[in-house]
Amino acid sequence: MTTLGIITLAALFLALNLFVFSIYFLDKQAARDGRRRISERTLLTLALVGGSLGAVAAQQILRHKTRKEPFRSILAGILVLHGALATVLAFAPQWSLHLLQDF
C-alpha cells in the first residue's frame, strides 16, 4: 500500500470516528432535552462498522451510557474485536511471508 493510500485510509477512519462521536453527542443532547433518542442498535452498529474509538471516546468524555448494561459490555466487545482485527491486519504481511517459506 502506498503512503497516499495509508493517509487516505487514516483520514477516512478519523472522519468515521468523528461522525460517530457526533452522533453520540446528539443522542446525549436529546437525552438531556427529553427529545427522541437514537436507538442503541444504531449506536452499536455505528461502532461496529468502524467507529468504536469514537463511540468509546464519546462514552467517556460525554459520560454517555457509562452505566447502561448490556450496552457497555457490547461496546467493549466491539472495541476488543477491532483491536484484534487491527493486530491481525498489521501482522498479516509478515505471517503470509512465513507461511509461504514453509511450503
Inter-residue contact 65 to 59 (CB < 8 Å): yes
Question: Residues 15-64: pLDDT tens digits?
Answer: 999 999 999 999 999 999 999 999 999 999 999 999 999 999 999 999 99
pLDDT, position 18? 98
Q: b/e map of 26-57 (b: 16 or more CB within 10 Å)?
A: ebbeeeeeeeeeeeeeebbebbbebbbbbbbb
Model pTM? 0.85
Inter-residue contact 46 to 18 (CB < 8 Å): no
Percent of the chain with pLDDT over 90: 72
